[in-house]
């Protein structure tokens, strides 16, 4: 592909892979539960986060939880964030870096969530991964690799923090863990010297 080709025309297979996987799994959960609001028992059975003692026996849950959602609103919000933050990242960083970033951010969010929950809980959602995308964008901005205004981060981080702190049942620990993971990985996986999200 011509490197001079505008960013908006570059393929984004990683984005579509993640989107389709999340939607397909949510559709399967709806079929199992017979409702768009998925029960905690079903989430736990399919691989949601559980308290530390259970996670030690089934560590794969740290990853699978990132592809499970409790409701239509839950998955819609995360997929909107995936679209808004993930598409420009994949076009700038490349598909392999993007997928590595997303999956690692899910793990980072899951690890912090489990570590910071003392009471019994069941956690799930792609918010660790999507928060990692926002963290990566901030990391690249910090390096001077993307051209976005400061207001982009004020608005998006502000909304993310507001939802995490004030919306009922939101696992803010997963948001924070994913954001930190994404920020750090962006510093390590930074793409070519400069690309611009506005291209």
Q: Which residues have a catalytic role annotated? A: 127, 175
Non-local CB neighbours of 22 within 8 Å, separated by 6+ positions: 67, 69, 75, 78, 79, 82, 126
SS3 71: coil
Rounded to the nearest angstrom, the gap between the alpha carbon of residue 133 and the centroid of all alpha carbons in its chain is 6
- Report which secondary-structure segment, H or E, holds 150: helix 150-166
Rounded to the nearest angstrom, the gap between the alpha carbon of residue 93 and the centroid of all alpha carbons in its chain is 16
Residue in the structure block whose two tokens are 């994404």 = 182
Q: What distance in Å separates the CA atoms of residue 138 and residue 153, rounded to the nearest whole number?
A: 7
The token duo for 137 is 């964008």
**What distances in angstroms separate CA 39 from CA 43, 70, 89, 154, 185, one per listed residue?**
6, 7, 33, 35, 34
Rounded to the nearest angstrom, the gap between the alpha carbon of residue 134 and the centroid of all alpha carbons in its chain is 9
């Amino acid at each position: 592909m011509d490197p001079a080709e505008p960013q908006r025309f570059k393929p984004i297979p990683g984005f579509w892979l993640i989107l389709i996987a999340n939607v397909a799994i949510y559709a399967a959960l709806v079929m199992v539960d017979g409702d768009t609001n998925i029960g905690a028992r079903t989430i736990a059975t399919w691989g949601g986060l559980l308290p530390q003692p259970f996670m030690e026996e089934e560590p794969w849950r740290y990853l699978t939880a990132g592809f499970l959602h409790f409701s239509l609103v839950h998955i819609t919000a995360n997929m909107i964030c995936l679209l808004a933050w993930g598409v420009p990242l994949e076009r700038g960083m490349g598909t392999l870096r993007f997928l590595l970033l997303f999956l690692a951010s899910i793990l980072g969010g899951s690890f912090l969530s489990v570590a910071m929950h003392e009471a019994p809980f069941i956690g799930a959602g792609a918010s660790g991964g999507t928060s990692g995308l926002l963290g990566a964008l901030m990391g690249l901005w910090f390096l001077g690799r993307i051209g976005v205004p400061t207001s982009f981060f004020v608005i998006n981080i502000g909304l993310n923090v507001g939802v995490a702190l004030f919306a009922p049942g939101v696992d803010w620990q997963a948001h924070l863990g994913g954001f930190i993971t994404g920020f750090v990985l962006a510093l390590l996986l930074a793409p070519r010297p400069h690309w611009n999200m506005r291209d």
